[in-house]
Homo-oligomer: A and B are copies of this chain.
Amino acid sequence: MEPVSHIVVDWGTSSFRLWALDRAGQVLAERRSTQGLAASATDGFEVVLETHIAALGIGEDVPVMMCGMVGSRSGWIEAAYLAAPVPLAGLAAQTTLVPSTRRPIHVLPGIAQNDPHHFDVMRGEETQLLALTTREGACLACLPGTHSKWVRLEDGTIEGFASFMTGELFQLIREASVLAPALSGAAPVEPASPAFAEGVAEALAAPESIGNALFALRASWLLAATPATSALARLSGLLIGLELAGARQRFGNLDGVSLIASAPAAPLYRQAFAVAGLADIRAFDAESCVREGLHAAALATFQLEGAVS
- Contact: A209 with B172, CB < 8 Å? no
Q: Is the CB of B176 within 8 A of A176?
A: yes
Q: How large is the interface on A (under 10, 10 to 19, 20 to 34, 35 or more residues)?
A: 35 or more
As a 0/1 sequence over residues 69 to 86 of chain A, the CB contacts with chain B under 8 angstroms (1 = contact) are 000010000000100000
Interface segment among A117-125, A279-287, A291-299: the answer is A117-125
Q: A209 contacts which chain B residues (CB < 8 A)?
A: 162, 246, 249-250
A146, A147, A215, A222: which has the most chain B beta carbons within 10 Å?
A215
Determine if A211 and B178 form an interchain contact, defined as CB atoms under 8 angstroms apart.
no
Copies of the protein in its oligomer: 2
Minimal Cβ-Cβ distance residue in B for A218: B121
Report the nearest B residue to A206, measured CB to CB.
B249
Q: Cβ of A103 < 8 Å from any Cβ of B?
A: no
Q: A168 and B177: CB pair below 8 A?
A: yes
Are the C-beta atoms of B121 and A246 separated by less than 8 Å? Answer: no
- In Å, the complex CA distance between A174 and B121 comes to 20
Q: Does A27 contact B (CB under 8 A)?
A: no
Is there an interface contact between A219 and B113, defined as CB atoms closer than 8 Å? yes
Q: Which residue of B lies closest to A226 (CB)?
A: B119
Interface residues of A (CB under 8 A from B): 73, 81, 112-114, 116, 118-121, 146-148, 162-166, 168-169, 172-173, 176-178, 206-212, 214-216, 218-220, 222-224, 239, 242-243, 245-246, 248-250
